[in-house]
Each structure stands twice: as C-alpha cells, then as structure tokens.
Amino acid sequence: MHILAKFIVLYHEPKDKDRFDKHYNEVHIPLVEKMPHVKSTSLNKIVDTQNNDLKYYQIVEIEYESLEDLNESLSSDAGRKVSEDAPNLAPFLHRPPVIFITA
C-alpha cells in the first residue's frame, strides 16, 4: 500500500471572512502553488460539523508522494515564503489554525 503524506490546515471561522478570503485566495494560495513536490491541493469551506461546538470555516489539504517530499517542500524557498505569509492572516482570525501532518 502506497502511503501519501499530507499537510492539512483547519481554520476556525475568521472574524473578517471577506478580508481573510481575499488574502488567502489572492496571496497565500498562489504562494502555495509555487511549492515543489505538491501532488494536489484542495480547499473546502466547512458547511457543518458534528460533535463539536467550535465554528470551523475551511480545511486545506496539500498532498505529497512522501513525507520526505513534504519536508523538502516546506523547507524550500517557496515553502518559507508561505510560512512567512501565514502571520498576515492572523489579523482576520480569532485563533491560529490547527495544522496536521499525516503520513
């Protein structure tokens, strides 16, 4: 069985959805798209949660062939630019996103 690695980001509902979406879609995602080794990305708005009273807004999954590819991608120049841009989303959020790495 081939195991893929994923970098998953779960965002709580922003305090300013319009400004969050604008920055995320016009600045952050274009930076993510320049990262090496990315097999696929998906961005989904969360319409409902169960067994949870927190308000989640969106989940983003970046998929890689391997954990090694994921780590190389995150440590690349493009990966560092994504990381450096992440604090620019903070003013629109109530709390930092939850990040998962799976393999």
Which spans in 38-93 are helix H? 67-75, 77-85
Contacts of residue 96, defined as CB under 8 A and 6 or more positions apart, other chains included, come to 90
Q: What is the pLDDT of residues 9-45, one digit of tens each?
A: 999 999 999 999 999 999 999 999 999 999 999 999 9
DSSP helix/strand/coil, 99? strand
Give me the amino acid identity at 2: H
End-to-end CA distance of the chain: 12
Q: What is the pLDDT of residues 46-61, one digit of tens each?
A: 999 999 888 999 999 9
What is the value of pTM for the model shown?
A: 0.92
5-102 carries CATH number 3.30.70.100: yes
Q: What is the pLDDT of residues 77-101, one digit of tens each?
A: 999 999 999 999 999 999 999 999 9
* Residue ranges covered by each domain of the chain: 5-102
